Amino acid sequence: MAFQILLNFFLAFTWMFMTAEYNGLTFLIGYFFGLVILYILRRFFDRRFYIFNVLAAIKLLLIFIRELILSNIAVLKVILSPKLMNRPGIFALETELTKDWEITILSNLITLTPGTLVLEVSPDNKILYIHAMDIKDAEEAKQSIRNTFEKAIQEVSR
């Protein structure tokens, strides 16, 4: 992915040198044509066309914003309810992610969305220990983490 972005920048600069106009607009035009060339020759690379990774990263950001709003509303409900009905607890989540940065992003996303909090990562990077505000729906939280965050992160690093 990094190689493709670098090559695209390189092509945009080549375009600027060929047209002998050095401004942002020419760079953008060159970048666009570079993008088209890279798309046509995308099977030439080992990795997939990098725009798909960029789109996946944007999607991850949107998912994060949506989850943040939804779970803040959930916490608000718990705080404002007259009786304390929730049962806190800790559960383990086995993750399929392997790279260090993937696990870091997953833990940060779980922590930043209220209701769940990562306490510790097991030494072999396979299990995350998560504190849940309400242990009753731990299984549900597990599923939602798997389906939203883990999938989205895998999509970014593919």
Q: Using CB under 8 A as the criterion, which residues of the chain lie in contact with other proteins when the complex forms?
A: 7, 10-11, 14-15, 18-19, 25, 28-30, 33-34, 37-38, 40-41, 43-44
Tokens read off for 146: 């798997």
For residue 157, the minimal CB distance to other proteins (Å) is 23
Nearer to other proteins, 28 or 58 (CB): 28
Q: Which is nearer to other proteins, 29 or 57 (CB)?
A: 29
* Minimum CB distance to other proteins smaller for 2 or for 79: 2
Which residue has tokens 């375009």? 15
Instruction: Measure CA 126 to chain center.
Output: 18
Listed residue (73, 68, 76, 56) closest to 153, CA to CA? 56
* Least CB distance to other proteins at residue 145 (A): 38
Nearer to other proteins, 37 or 69 (CB): 37
- Residue 28 CA to residue 22 CA, distance in Å, equals 11
Q: In the bound complex, what is the minimum distance in angstroms from residue 51's beta carbon to other proteins?
A: 16
Alpha-helical segments (H) within the chain: 2-19, 24-40, 50-80, 100-112, 138-144, 151-157
